[in-house]
Each structure stands twice: as C-alpha cells, then as structure tokens.
Structure 1
Amino acid sequence: MFSFLARLRVAAFTLSSLVISSHALEGSLFTSSVTYCSTPETLLIQQFDVEYFAANQSVSFNISAESVDSNVNVSASLLVNVFGIEPLNITIDLCGILNGALCPLPEYNFTGSDSISLPDSFASNIPSIVFKVPDLEGYAQLTLTEVSTGDVKACVQATLSNGLSTHQLAVEWATGGLTIFTFLVALWQSYSPTTILPYRLMDLIYLFQNVAVSALFNLNYPVTYISFALNFAWSLSLFSSGDDSMQGAINNMRALTGGGLANSSSNSAVAFVNRKLSPFNSDSASSSSSISGLSSLTRRTVDSLVSNNLQQRDVAVVTSESDNVLSAGIPIYVSTINIATANAFMTVFLCTLILIAITLSVFSIGWVSLFTMERFRLGHESRRSQLRNAYPSWVRAWILRLSLIMFTPLVVFAFYQWTLNDSWLSVLFSVIAFLGIMIAVCYPCVVVIRTVRRSEPSVLYTDPFLLKTYGPLHAQYLPRRYHFFLPLVIVAFFKAIIVSFISSSGMAQIILFLILEIALVLRVLLLRPHKTRGADIFSSFLAIVRVVCTGLMIAFIQSIGVKPIPRYAIGLVLAVIYSITILVVFFNIALHIQRLFKRREASRSSSRSSSLHGSSNTMLEKDAVSSSTSDSDPYGRPRNPTPERNVPLDPEINQPYNPSSPTTTTTDYASTRQRDSESTNFGSVLPRRWSFTPLHTPTDSSALDHTPPFGSTLSRTSEEPLEKVSHSHD
C-alpha cells in the first residue's frame, strides 16, 4: 500500500510547472520537509524521502510508516500545489485497486526503499524549468479519509525543492570577507578623521542590515527573497552555530527562567510556515477532525507513537489551529537558520558580547604596543608622542562606530523580546542591552549638539578632540549640515519600533517605512549635506534604492492578494536590485582603496626623489668644500686665485654720489686698484634718488661688458646720460 501511495505522490510532484529560468545541466526534485497536516490517527509516518532524477527519469524513495487502526476503509486524495496553482487534485478509491488488498488498511509496520523508472511519456510532461528555478514553492498533500464517516485518518504534507536557492554560504563568506577587509583598511586609515573609508564601511554594513531588516515584516514574502535576505543575517548578529551549542545553551537558560515558547530545532523551518504563506500559498484550511469514538487504549497508543515520532523524526503536526505555526516576519526569518523565535534576542546579545570582547582585546593590544614603544624608546619621539595623544580619541571614535553598527540589531530584537512574554532573564538582558546601546549612541549626539549651541558648527571641525572623537557622526558632512546624522539615528530607532511593535499589520509597517525612506531621500536631495558632489550622488543613490525596494514590497501585503508568480518575480527583482547596489558599494570602496594606495605610492616616490635631491645637494657641497680645501695653502688658508683677466670697476659708479664732484675723471690702473681695495661702496646706503634712478650696478652685466680696458679714460659722451639722469631728479 505504502509503495503505491508513494508512487502516487511522486507522480504528483513531477507534474509541477513554474516560471523564471536559470541554468542547470541536470536536476532533481525531492522532499525538503514532511509534516502532518492533521492529527495522525491511522497512519503514522516516521520517515518519508522521495527524489526524482531528471537525468535517468527515475524515482527513489525511502519510507517508514505504520498503521495503528484496524478495519478502516479509506480513500486517498492527492493534491499538488505549485505557486498557488493546483495541477493535480485527484481522489483514489483504494478499495477499487489491487483487488481490494488495501481495503481495509492492513495493520503492520512498513519500512522500505526502492528506485523505479518512469515511462518516457510521463517524463516528457515535466517542464525542464522546474529543475532550474531557485527556491521552488510547491508541496504535495496526501489525505486518507474514511469512506463511511468522512473523517480524516491521516494527512501528510511534503514540500518540494530542486536544491537551488538564493541563500548561499559562499555569498555569506564573500560579503563577510570583503567587509572584514574593508574594516581592516578603514581601521588602518582612521587616524585621519576625514578619511572616507570608515564612512564607506558604515554605508556597506547599513546596506546589509537594510536588506536583512526588510525581510522582518509581517508580509507574504516569496521564499526566494527570504533566502536572499538570509545571506546578510550576520549583519544583524544572527549566527547559527553548526553544532547548535549556543542555541542549546539558550534553550536551557530559558527553560530555567520561565521560558515556555518553542525551542530551536535543526529541522527545516519551512514545515512550520503558515499554510496561507509561501511556499504553501493555500487559502484552504486543512482538516484536523478526528474520530471521537476512539478507545482510550487506541488514543494512548496513538499519542505514544506520535510522541516517539516527534522525538525521533521531528515529524510535527502543523494545522491551522496549531500554536507552533510560524508567523511572517521575525519568526520565519530566524527559524529558517535554526534559531528559535524566543532565542533571537539572546543570540544577538551573546554575539554582541563576543564583539565587545574582541574589541577590548584589540584596544588592549594597542595600549600594550604604545607602552612597549615608550618603555624601549622605539621609533622617533615625535611619532610616539603623536600616537600617544591620538590613541584615546581613536579608541572613542571606533567605539562610537561599533555602537552605531550594533544599534539596529540590539534595539530591534530587544523590543521584540518585550512582546514575547518569555524568559524573565532574557527580558532583563534586553533592558540592559537597550539602555547600554542608547547611552553609547545618544551621549555623543548630545555632546555634538550642545557644543554647537554653545559655540558654532565650525568648532566641530577645528577642535582636534571633537573632530577625532565624534567625527564618525558629523565629519563627512558640511559644517552647516553637521546635524544630518540626527535623522539617521532617529529613523533607525523608529524602524525598530515599526518592526517589533507593529508586527500585527504588514500594511502599516510598509507604509510607515516608505514614509521614513522618502523623508530621508528628500532630505539628501534638497540639503546635499556632504562635502563633495560625488558623496551626495552616492548617498542619494542608496536612499533612492531603499525607497524603490520598499515600494516594491507593497506587493507582498497579504490583503492585496497578489498572485504567487508575480510575487516571486518581484522577489527576484528585489534581489537583483540589492545585488547590483552591493556591487556598486564594493566598487566605490575598491576605488577609494586604489586611490589611497596610489597616493601613498606617489608620496613615497616624492619622498624618495626629495631624499635623492638632498643627497645630490650634499654631494655638491662636499665637492665644493673639497675643492676649496685643495686650493688652500699648506697652512690651511684659502687662496684667492688671480683671474686671467681683471675687470676694473667703473670708478664713477662705485664711489659715493656727490653732486659737487666733477663728472669727468681720468684714472689709471693704480688708482683703480686702490679704490677697489679700500674705498668700495658695496652695501652702503644710497641716497633716496638712487631708488628711482635706473642705473647699472657694478654687478650688472652691461657694466661688465662695456667696461673699458685697464688705463683707458672714460669720455664725456659715455657719462652724459648718467649726468643728465642724475640731475633730472634734483
């Protein structure tokens, strides 16, 4: 019987049809989760795995089930739902097949596995796109109904998957690794409060957090978008340990402190999703009726077997009346990565403590390094003094940056913890975390605002302490726009309130989010707060992307009733838009890093050329000194070499000006030599009129070129211009 039912289910699985294509050479369809959609009474399933391989058109299955009721005649209903479309919905009378071997159902435990081949005619009806689209939204439901009473004896739902998903571990490692690299470069360059890389690091992490937070609303998300947003769950400090050691510790803590909500599980969370949401996309409520006339012995047997199944196979009962159904928003998002809804805040809190411990360790290493440099006099004294004075402000600036990064995760999940009414210790930790992060972020904001009120905005950019300590808030903005950081902090706070306290209405969440995003983008476009046009364009681009993506998510509101296929397409569009935006941010960061290294290389080249130039000047000075030393006499006195041709100075020009002196003078070589050695006037103060007289000085080239030979007499003709010019100023 079970082999026959398995074949019926496999046949239904392979009839699904989809849209949206990607590339794959071969694929398969398999069950990703199995749950009871009704309280089990007749058929108990311990394991059920089915997989269809497109390459050889074969089906493999592994089933372990048990019938616990006797003398039951049932009919089997098989339903397949793919993106809200039901390509198969048939009812089979088990009494009319196999010569009545399945009527009534035999009482025995059936365990077996097999692989069978399907005919070519059947495989040809399977669209190839089924194996290529990521995050398939489909499930199959098998219902056994008693013929005489119409009571449901068993109902099993199995979700389908083709193994393709937009949630990839490689994406998490790639984005995380690039973020760490950017962090290290920004850490290295952040001694200058005006460097751009720390702000680009903040923009990158804010973008990741925005993608993750956008999947926390009470909306009917397509599975593909939730899977894409899970790639950035680490930006919200949501890390799921592989061995579940952290989640197990949180479960134990909650159990000891009054926690009563469901614990984390290693099984797929998709089985617990509300049946009206993706991937089920079904408005019909599953029947959970049962036979009221079961004997107490049968009831105890059923309950015992069900409990055993839940412990061994985690095959849970999920109906429309169950209290374990995951609602849209934070429950589905965190449970998909095996974090219980009640464990979400504690996971963020513990990861924050780990981050604080790492930060303190890094800062301590810095202090130890500075102490070692001072103790052993390492490096130049000026450099050590500079590092010693700048290090405290540098530490405070990075504490502020880390506080801004952790503001959204801590506030969102602290608020959400207050709505759960679970462990009192978790609530206490959430209050402590909320107060701590609010003080760490709000106190610097108050200091900046108070400083400006007492003085003026320019002091924030001229005071070294304020610029280096509180620069992460305002340094990237113009002095008159220093306050632009306030709307960002306020909007982040209100977003946390919307996500946590208005989780009952997805429409209200989207509308309020859209209002906030539009206000931010208008503020950027109108005020243009950044110091450069490129920074304004970059900030406007990010703000516009947030507005567009938030507006597209209106299609996910349940009350609007957009069909599953259009919702799926919009989810892919959102993933593409955010992916392109992330690449743009990475490209911008890479461009700044490249420019940084080019500037450093140019600086090194300039320093190297300056050093070489200084060395060459030093060599020339040494050569001059050596040459002067070689011209000295044996007693070390420098010689005065006699030139090959002595150039006499003009006696009329070289002597002090005297209006009563004759203008025509005859000199010989002896008198010229005597005046040159004893009565020269170099450096003496000339009369005022000389400052306006365009005369040739003794060092002028014209005077040297036209000086007469030794013993010659200057003619009056050559002196007339000088005399006329001199008397013209009298």
Structure 2
Amino acid sequence: MRTTIWALLGLGVVLPQALASDTLSTSGFSLCMQDSEIEVQKLDVSYTKSTQEVVFDVAGTNSKEQNVTATLTVTAYGSQVYSKTFNPCGTEVHVAELCPVPSGHFSASGSMAVPDEYASQIPSIAFSIPDLDGQAKLTLTSNGKDVACVESELSNGKSTDVKGVAWATAGIAAGALALSGLSALGSAGSTGAPSSSPSAGDVVGWFGSVATNGMLSVSHPTIYKSFTKNFAWSTGLIPWSSMQNSIDAFRKATGGNTTHESYIYLSGLSTASSSNGTSSKRSLDLVSRAANLIARSSSNSSSSDLTDCGSVSVNSFKCYSEELSIPSANIFMTVLLVFAIVVAVVVVGILLLKVILELWALYGNFPKKLTEFRKDYWGIMARTITNMILILYGIWVMYCVYQLRNGDSWAAKLLAAVTLSVFTALLAFFAWRIIYLARKYKKAEGDTTGLYENKETWRKYSLFYDNYKKDLWWLFVPVIVYALAKGCIIAGAEGHGMVQTIGQLAVECCMLALLLWNRPYATKSSMGIHMTIQIVRVLSIACVLVFVEELGLSQTTKTVTGIVLIVVQSALSGVLAILIAVNAIIVCIRENPHAKKLREAENANKDLDDLTPLDARESLLIDHPPKRDFTEMSKFNFNAPYEPYRDHPVNRSNSTGSNDRLVYADYGVAHGRSQSPESRSSLEGRKPTAPGYGMAY
C-alpha cells in the first residue's frame, strides 16, 4: 500500500502521537468457512514494530491427525499488505505443535520475522489511527484442500468511541438547557423575545443527526461508525442492564422471542468471545446460553460474532444497538423508558422549583418577574413536555416505525402505534390552534403580530415559533413535516442504504432551500447557527452516499471520507459548545433588550397620560406608536369616557357635506383644524377632561 494513501488516512487524527504503542493485535475471531475439519477455538496474532515480528497463538480441535500448510494474510483498508505461507514442519517457521496437527485438542504458538520490504510498507500512522480497518486471516490447507479458515480484526487499541466524548457531548446539551432556562427567567413576563441560540433543541437535534448517520444501512468505515456511537445517547439509546432485563421479561410475557434477542444472550456472547469460549462468572443461565451459542455457531460462525454486521444486507439498527449492548428487539422500549424517566425528572424538578419559589415568596423579597413561574406550574410542565416531544419527534417516528416493522412483542407494537399516534396528534393540534389564532388576529387587526404581542398566546404557543420572524411564524409546520419524513425514510427503508441516503439527502436539501429562501430566524446569530447546522447536515449525508455499497468505492476512499466527516462534525460540535459558553456570559452580564424596550414603552405611555398644553414635556419628539394602536383609539370621543366618536354631532355633520370635523392624529389627541370659525370657537369653549381619558383641550 502506498505511503501517500496512509498519509491521507491520517487527516484529522487528533490523538496524541506520543501515546501510540508499536503493536498491532487481533481482536476476537470468526470462522470464514463451513464444515471445517479443524475447528479453531482461539486465535491471537500480534505484530510488534520494534522487533518486526509476528507472534501467533492458535488452539482448537482436530478430527484426525494430518499435515497442514498455514497461510497468514494481513489486509488493511481493503488492500493486502502482507501474506506468508509456511510449513509448520519446515525450517523457516517451525511449529512443533502443528507438525503434524494432532487428533483431538491442540494448541500452538510461535513467531516469524517480517522482511523489511513488507515492514517498510506499514507506516507509523497505522499504530496511532483509531479503529484501524485491518484483518488477519489464517488458512490451514491439507493435500491442497482448505481444512480450516479463521479471521480476526486488527486493532492498535485505540478507538473514536470514547466514554469521555459521550459525557462531554451530554455536558454540552446540559449547558444549552441551563442557558435556555436562564434566558426564560430573564424574559419572564415579556412577550416576543426570541429564545437564545443554540438552544438545547438545536444541540440535541444536531447530535441526533450524527447518531442516525451511523444507523443507515451502508458500509460505514469502522472509524466513523465508532465515532457516531458517542452521540447515541441523544436518540435515547442508553444501555442499562437492569432495564434491559426488565424489557426482556416484558417482551417474553407478550409474545416476544428472547432466545436470540435478549440482554442475557448478548452478554453471554460477548463474554464467550472475551474468554475464548470459557464460561462466564455472572450466572449459570448466562453460562449455559453462551455454551449453547458456541455449540450452534461452531459450524458457520464464531463466538465473537453475533451477526454478520459487516454485511450491507444486515439490519443496521440491529448491529448499531447490539454494539451498544442493547438487543435490537429492545430498542423502542428502551427509548420509551428513557423518555419516561426524563419526564419524571422534569416533573420533579419543576415541582422542586415551585417549592423553592413558594418559600422565597414567604420569607424573602420575591421578584415580580418570577410570579408567572409560581402561578403556572402545570402550564410550565405541559409546555416543557410538549417541547421535548417537538425536539425528539423525528427520533420518535424512526423508532416507532422500526418497532412496527421488526418488533416481536404485540404489546410493544401496540405501544409504538399509540405513541406515534398521540405525539403526532398532539403536534397537529397545536399546529391547527396556532394557524386558527393567526387567521383570527389577521382578520381583526390586519396582521398576525398578536401571536407575538398577546401575552396569553405567547405564553402558550411561542415554543413553536419564538425563533422566527413575525411574518414567518408558520415555518414550524414544515419543520414538523421534515422530522416526520426523515424518521419514516430512515426506518421505513431500513436495509436499503441507497434509498435511505438519497431520500434523506432530498429531505435535507428541501429544508436547506426553504431556509435560504425565507431566512426566517429573528436574529442574525440564530440565522447563522441554524444555516450552518443545516449545511453540514446536507454535506454529511452527501458524504454518507460514498459509503453506499452499490457505488463500489474503495475502502480507502470510504475511510478518508469518514475521517473528514469526523473532523467537520467535531468542529461544529465544538463551535456550538463555544457559542453556548459565550451566550451564557452575555445572559449574565447584559440586560434583556426586549425587556428594556418594553419598560421604556411603558414609561412613555405613563408620561403621555399626564400631558397638558402647559406641560407637553417635548411629547412631539417621542416616537410614534404603531399605527394600529392609535387607530383603535380614534374610534372614541374624548369629551366623555369611551364614548364612540361616530355618535358625536360634529361627525354626523360630515354626512351633510360640511368640512367641519375633528382630526385625530397624534396619540389620540383631537385638534380643531376646521376653517370654520364656528367650529373653532366650539372647540375653544371646551374644558379640560380628567387625566386618563385623553389630553385636555
């Protein structure tokens, strides 16, 4: 393999090179032929760079004594980098234990030197790049016939699937959630203020996009698929042994088959692999299942491989979840229980907040802007849960459709159908309600600004459109449809990587075009963040298209593309984390601009109520209020409290063709502008009215 190709594979690798070891070793094994005469039960192969030696350790059983020839082949990223055929009875590589292979149980170990011409083709990056895509294959031949074949993945001990990264991403989401809470406290009691960006929904939505990229039915490079597992928590895939055992019991009681789809079976398989077929110490049940598995798998597969997850035809959800120690049949119930736990935590948290506020009100100086949080406990809880459903709706659709297609428990299928129906109906109701109110405001006032200015409407429904401009409030409807389409495509076209990828790419491009055409977000920061996220989503799916098996691209190309994806997606995640920190600082040190503007407007209105001709206080320099405000005021005559202007005698005289009329212009103040001396004199004879009913004459 050319050194330039290996150099490309090193792009984006940020792990410290000083921590790299100089050893490549096998990890588990699988049989690559059926009905083999020699049954291999153990294979350990390692290569040390400093000594340029391959050390092997193999064990198994043989039906009869026979002479064999061994061939060891090493491949990396789809290309063969080393191949060696040797006779265990020869002088170059002599293995006494295999000369000949004895009948019954056997074990052998040995080493062989790798010539410089082969060792020089393995660059240093192979010992440091995570999730090395390499395989070692050992074939035993007797009398020109293959009698055994076993292969194993090569590893340098490094992976992009790191628990610390998963915790870091969860911390970023928690920071965004805390920032959203601070922003809500800062704008409490005000209307029309857009939420801070990036919000918790933006962060979780982005992390969910990365995770679902790893679930598509394509031939992912190992390095990228491992990377996506760091974000699996954002889709609800959180492994928990007690929960999985409970789900298994529930499925078994409702028609599910737990023989091969259970946490015990999956754990027993993993234990059998790690111990090379020995028993586990967990429980007798686990031991028996592992032993039965090995017995069933000895003819066509190894104990280290539950399913052929390297095959494109295999269920990608299945492989992805099982690598996270979650049986594929438990996926939906796992997500449902995790969601229920989160909802319970939210309910308890809001209740605790209410208790704190009540104690504060009783024994401290309670701020007025937090009064809404005291009075609207149930409303806050309902809106929070609705917001969670809105954020995770695409994930819910995906898992519900998957359960309906592949589930084996009738109760779990029923729960999936009910969950999908209820959540869809809930969002459809809110969409209908907001559209109804928008039409009502437009009919009464000429526009839909009431969605942003009416306090009660804003409090109930703003979570759907608070980030959008006033004339683009409706964009939340295409966003819901977008989430529905993505979930249906990913789960509905499972097993068909080309359909999944092209369908998802079409949906992402449509959303990007909609954002570019309307530019709907209220602030420039929100516009930039959401546009960047959507562009990266489109580019990510375009890169995933490289992984589609039907295109027949080389493994090297796929790996390079996977590394580029890791770099881009990691960079965007880091930028979001930085923006969250910056916004937190801004929220803490700067007054909410909307609240400031609202306070200034209220002060100006109070001053206008006390204006008199002798004390105008430069009212003509004050900005005019919105046209619709004094248009409403113009319907009244200020000679008497709230008396309709149309009933005034002067107004009725207009129908006779007289030019005498009241002209109401600035702030509802009536001025005599008639050219008739009589009308002017009638105005001059009026007396001042009481403050609060208009300006005195």
Q: Give the TM-score taking structure 1 as reference length.
A: 0.68
Aligned to 2:25: 30
- Offset of residue 381 of structure 1: 8.7
Q: 1:422 to 1:305 in 2, by over 3 A?
A: closer
Q: Deviations over 1:415-470 (max 9, x none)?
A: 11122142223222322332333244333222212222333322211221221222
Question: 2:221, 2:268 → 1: CA distance?
Answer: 20
Equivalent residue of 2:255, what SS?
Answer: coil
What is the aligned counterpart of 1:135 among 131, 141, 144?
131
Equivalent residue runs for 1:500-649 within 5 Å = 500-599=491-590
- Does 1:253 pair with 2:240? no
Contact map agreement 2:29 2:152 (CA 8 A) in 1: yes
What is the aligned counterpart of 1:362 among 349, 371, 374?
349
Question: 1:379, 1:85 → 2: CA distance?
Answer: 73
Question: 2:558, 2:358 → 1: CA distance?
Answer: 60
Question: 1:127, 1:385 → 2: CA distance?
Answer: 66
Q: Deviations over 1:352-388 (max 9, x none)?
A: 12112111211222343455456x4654495674443
Contact map agreement 1:167 1:230 (CA 8 A) in 2: yes
Question: 2:440, 2:500 → 1: CA distance?
Answer: 39
Aligned to 1:410: 396
Aligned to 2:46: 51
Aligned to 1:681: none
Aligned to 1:708: none
Moved more, 558-567 or 332-341: 332-341
Whose Rg is larger? 1
- Offset of residue 238 of structure 1: 0.8
Q: 1:313 to 1:59 in 2, by over 3 A?
A: farther
Q: Deviations over 1:494-548 (max 9, x none)?
A: 1111111112322222222121111111111111112223332332222222122
Question: 1:555, 1:373 → 2: CA distance?
Answer: 58
Q: Deviations over 1:537-568 (max 9, x none)?
A: 33222222212222222211111111111111
Q: Deviations over 1:694-718 (max 9, x none)?
A: xxxxxxxxxxxxxxxxxxxxxxxxx
Corresponding letter in the other structure for 1:354: I
Aligned to 2:9: 20
What is the aligned counterpart of 1:453 among 439, 446, 449?
439
- Offset of residue 39 of structure 1: 3.6
Equivalent residue of 2:387, what SS?
Answer: helix
Q: Deviations over 1:455-488 (max 9, x none)?
A: 3322211221221222111111112100111111
Question: 2:7, 2:325 → 1: CA distance?
Answer: 28
Corresponding letter in the other structure for 2:433: V
- Offset of residue 237 of structure 1: 0.9
Q: Deviations over 1:389-419 (max 9, x none)?
A: 3444433332222112332222211111122
Equivalent residue of 1:239, what SS?
Answer: coil
Aligned to 1:201: 200
Q: 1:569 to 1:17 in 2, by over 3 A?
A: closer
Corresponding letter in the other structure for 2:213: S
- Offset of residue 312 of structure 1: 10
Q: 1:569 to 1:33 in 2, by over 3 A?
A: same
What is the aligned counterpart of 1:397 among 383, 389, 411?
383
Question: 1:498, 1:170 → 2: CA distance?
Answer: 32
Equivalent residue runs for 1:49-448 within 5 Å = 49-55=44-50, 63=58, 65-92=59-86, 102=98, 104-110=100-106, 126-147=122-143, 150=145, 152-191=146-185, 192=187, 194-197=193-196, 200-241=199-240, 244-260=241-257, 261-264=260-263, 265-266=266-267, 308=291, 310=293, 317-318=300-301, 324-326=307-309, 327=314, 329-372=316-359, 376=362, 378-380=364-366, 382=368, 385-448=371-434
Question: 2:196, 2:326 → 1: CA distance?
Answer: 34
- Offset of residue 344 of structure 1: 1.7
- Offset of residue 584 of structure 1: 2.2
Aligned residues: 549
Question: 1:467, 1:208 → 2: CA distance?
Answer: 29
Counting aligned pairs with the same residue, the percent is: 27
State the superposition RMSD in angstroms.
3.7
Contact map agreement 1:498 1:512 (CA 8 A) in 2: yes
Equivalent residue runs for 1:610-689 within 5 Å = none
Q: 1:378 to 1:316 in 2, by over 3 A?
A: farther
Q: Give the TM-score taking structure 2 as reference length.
A: 0.71
Q: 1:510 to 1:124 in 2, by over 3 A?
A: closer
Q: 1:169 to 1:313 in 2, by over 3 A?
A: farther
Moved more, 201-210 or 49-58: 49-58
Corresponding letter in the other structure for 1:129: I
Contact map agreement 1:80 1:141 (CA 8 A) in 2: yes
Question: 1:246, 1:441 → 2: CA distance?
Answer: 29
Question: 1:256, 1:306 → 2: CA distance?
Answer: 20
- Offset of residue 345 of structure 1: 1.6
- Offset of residue 577 of structure 1: 1.2
Equivalent residue of 1:135, what SS?
Answer: coil
Contact map agreement 1:220 1:328 (CA 8 A) in 2: no
Question: 1:305, 1:70 → 2: CA distance?
Answer: 28
Question: 1:32, 1:541 → 2: CA distance?
Answer: 39
Question: 2:580, 2:51 → 1: CA distance?
Answer: 48
Q: 1:601 to 1:112 in 2, by over 3 A?
A: farther
Contact map agreement 1:345 1:417 (CA 8 A) in 2: yes
Contact map agreement 1:142 1:157 (CA 8 A) in 2: yes
Question: 1:120, 1:88 → 2: CA distance?
Answer: 11
Q: 1:99 to 1:170 in 2, by over 3 A?
A: closer
Equivalent residue of 1:197, what SS?
Answer: coil
Q: 1:515 to 1:492 in 2, by over 3 A?
A: same
Equivalent residue of 1:190, what SS?
Answer: helix
Moved more, 54-63 or 37-46: 54-63
Equivalent residue of 1:455, what SS?
Answer: helix
